[in-house]
């Protein structure tokens, strides 16, 4: 890893902590620079403003969770176990630190204002990855999508929408885990070949 990349990572780590502590609106570039143990001028050599820092943090977080999703789906084992692990990795990877912040909702809102393109691209990638896993399972004879008259992409989109619904109505943590597990049991009952 280059020195520039290491500094950028240090800045993004510091920025996440500061955004969680103060919220997006109250965080300044000086706050981020101090948390990263650098001058404000040095921070401006890496990022033009706090919006740029925030977007870079969102991009890094989404790339990280998508790597976790890919790893979960590549594991051996039943498709619905792998999908469950992938969905939990996606949600928990993005929500953990921000959800614990008193400014969590403000940060989620800021993300949808400043980095909606990053978020929507990651979600589309998630749907495509899940659809790919379902298609592979069907090709292997493990599931039968025709039982529910749906394509892999339609089922994958439904899984992501259901995950969002669980998160928004029941929150994260154990409720999210149980909701996604139930989702997998229902889907398995409908699609698994016996």
Q: What is the pTM of this model?
A: 0.90
Domain assignment present for residue 11? The answer is no
CA-closest candidate to residue 163, choices 130, 114, 115, 191: 130
Show the DSSP H helices in the chain as ranges.
3-22, 29-35, 40-46, 50-74, 79-100, 104-114, 116-139, 152-170, 173-191
pLDDT value at residue 167: 83
Contact 103, 20 (CB under 8 A): yes
Domain assignment present for residue 33? The answer is no
pLDDT value at residue 93: 80
Question: Which range marks the domain in which residue 63 is found?
Answer: 50-191
Output the CA torsion sign for 75, 155, 175, 65.
positive
Domain assignment present for residue 69? The answer is yes
pLDDT value at residue 3: 56
Domain assignment present for residue 21? The answer is no
Q: What are phi and psi of 20, to 5 degrees?
A: -70, -35
Domain assignment present for residue 128? The answer is yes
What is the chain's pLDDT, residue by residue, as a tens digit (194 residues)?
Answer: 555 688 999 999 999 999 999 999 999 999 999 999 999 999 999 999 999 999 999 999 999 999 999 999 999 999 999 999 999 999 888 777 787 788 888 999 999 999 999 999 999 999 999 999 999 999 999 999 999 999 999 999 999 999 989 888 887 788 889 999 999 999 999 999 76
Q: Alpha carbon 136 to chain centroid distance?
A: 23
Read off the CATH number of the domain in which 149 is found.
1.10.357
Domain assignment present for residue 37? The answer is no
Domain assignment present for residue 30? The answer is no
Q: What's the number of domains the chain is made of?
A: 1
Domain assignment present for residue 131? The answer is yes
């Amino acid at each position: 890893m280059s020195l520039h990349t290491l500094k950028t990572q240090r800045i993004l780590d510091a920025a996440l902590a500061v955004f969680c502590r103060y919220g997006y609106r109250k965080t300044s570039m000086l706050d981020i620079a101090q948390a990263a143990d650098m001058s404000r001028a040095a921070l401006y050599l890496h990022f033009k403003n706090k919006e740029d820092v925030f977007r870079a943090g969102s991009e890094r977080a989404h790339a990280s969770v998508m790597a976790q999703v890919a790893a979960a789906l590549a594991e051996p084992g039943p498709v619905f176990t792998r999908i469950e692990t992938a969905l939990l990795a996606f949600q928990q990877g993005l929500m953990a630190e921000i959800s614990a912040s008193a400014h969590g909702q403000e940060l989620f809102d800021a993300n949808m204002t400043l980095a909606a393109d990053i978020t929507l691209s990651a979600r589309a990638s998630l749907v495509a990855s899940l659809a790919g896993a379902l298609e592979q399972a069907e090709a292997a004879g493990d599931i039968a999508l025709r039982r529910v008259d749906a394509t892999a992409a339609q089922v994958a989109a439904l899984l992501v929408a259901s995950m969002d619904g669980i998160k928004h109505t029941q929150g994260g943590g154990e409720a999210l885990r149980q909701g996604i597990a139930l989702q997998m049991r229902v889907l398995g009952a409908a699609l698994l070949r016996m």
